[in-house]
Amino acid sequence: MSEVGKARQCRSLHRECSGYVQVLSLLVLYCFFASAIVRAASPIPVTILADDSYPPYSYVQDGKLVGIYPTLILEAAKLIKEEYLVELRPIPWKRGVAALEHGEAFALMPPYIHLDTRPYIWPYSVPLKQEEVVAFCNPGVTLQNITQRDDELAPINVGLNAGFLILDDALKRARKAGHIIVWENKNTRANIIKLFKKRIDCYINDRLSTLIGISDLQDQLPSLTAQSFVEDRVVLSRSAHIGYLKGYEGKYPFKADFIAKMDEALNTVLQKATHP
């Protein structure tokens, strides 16, 4: 081949190689942007801690989180699934509260609103449900007019679920004055057993949760019935919520948007439940 022919062949090969490199570069660039778009469009994972022992509202059964509140939240989560992938993670209540206190979790359900005693939780979701907290006592024991109790009498032993802040003002004053002693036990089941065995005098908790707990224990304690105790008085009525970690917007840049969309979704599900 002549020198001219060789030169032409080299120029041709150069053009082909250059074209190949350009196509390859465009292909790589396309894949990069396509991947970025897919990542941007993928739902953001959001974990909400959930009480693992608060039937019928939120509890673990056969290794699965169930109850009124998980059902409600997961139904709402379906309405925002294109943007957020919501996971409910069961946890002992006291540990869940501590996780928010130390900035280790994004959200927890279902706390009542305690602005003074839990300043690390804010904001709260729309109300999930109104709960009525009552005192169940053994016959002959009462928490009524507790602040006027005779100082000479022995204090009343009151059981609470660990981490629950459900004393009203009168009971707080009675505790400070030594008229009651508060014992934090693991859960509803543990408190009912201790109340039945008279290791505590009264147990304060949500009414429905306690009645279900009594029913669930009747196989283990055949003589136990709801009539074993006296429903002494209503302590308070409070709404339950999803409570979010206060601050940390840098760690959770989606926080405000998620809360707004979850509230809207919760309202939609709650309205359907009220007006089927």
Average pLDDT rounded to a whole number, residues 126-142 = 97
pLDDT for 34 beyond 70 = no
CATH code at position 66? 3.40.190.10
| pLDDT in the model for residue 276 | 52
Q: Are residue 124 and residue 245 in the same domain, yes or no?
A: yes
Quick one: pLDDT at residue 119?
Answer: 98
Percentage, residues of the chain above pLDDT 90:
83
Q: Is the pLDDT of residue 38 over 60?
A: no
Same domain, 50 and 106: yes
Q: In the predicted model, is pLDDT for residue 26 greater than 90?
A: no
232 plus 155 within the same structural domain: yes
Residues 217 and 80 both lie in one domain:
no
118 and 135 in a single domain? The answer is no
How much is the pLDDT for 35? Answer: 43
- Nearest 5°: the CA angle 211, 216, 218 is 100
The overall longest dimension of the chain from CA atoms, in Å, is: 122
Mind listing the pLDDT tens digit for each residue in 182-192? 999 999 999 99
For the chain, how far is it from start to end, CA to CA, in angstroms? 87
Degrees, nearest 5: CA angle 114-116-122: 60
Q: What is the dihedral of CA 140, 145, 148, 151, to 10 degrees?
A: 30
**Mean pLDDT value of segment 53-59:** 95
For range 35-56, the mean pLDDT: 81
Q: Are residues 144 and 115 in the same domain?
A: no
CA–CA distances in Å: residue 11 to residues 3, 17, 24, 25, 273: 12, 10, 20, 21, 75
Asked if the model's pLDDT at residue 6 lies above 50, the reply is no
Q: Per-residue pLDDT averaged across 120-126, rounded?
A: 98
Supply the range of the domain harboring residue 74: 44-128+241-274
**For residues 237-253, average pLDDT:** 97
SS3 56: coil
Instruction: Among 17-21, 34-38, 153-157, 250-254, name the one with the lowest average pLDDT.
Output: 34-38
What tens digit of pLDDT does each residue of 210-226 get? 999 999 999 999 999 99
Residues 98 and 4 in one domain: no
Q: Do 124 and 52 reside in the same domain of the chain?
A: yes
Q: Identify the pLDDT of residue 112.
A: 96
With bands split at pLDDT 50, 70 and 90, how would you rate the model's confidence at 273? confident
Whether the predicted pLDDT of 23 surpasses 80: no
Q: Are residues 156 and 211 in the same domain?
A: yes
- Residue 150 has what pLDDT? 93
* Residue 76 predicted with pLDDT over 60: yes
The predicted structure's pLDDT at residue 18:
54
Same domain, 217 and 135: yes
Tokens of 117: 């005693």
Structure tokens at 242: 């999803």
* Percent of the chain surpassing pLDDT 70: 84
Domain co-membership, 123 together with 253 = yes
Whether the CB-CB separation of 194 and 169 falls below 8 Å is answered with no
Specify the pTM.
0.79
Q: How far apart are CA 233 and CA 219, in angstroms?
A: 27
* Domain count within the chain: 3
What is the rounded average pLDDT of the residues 243-266? 98
Question: CB-based burial of residue 88 (10 Å sphere; 0-12 exposed, 13-18 middle, 19+ buried)?
Answer: buried
Residues 139 and 105 in one domain: no
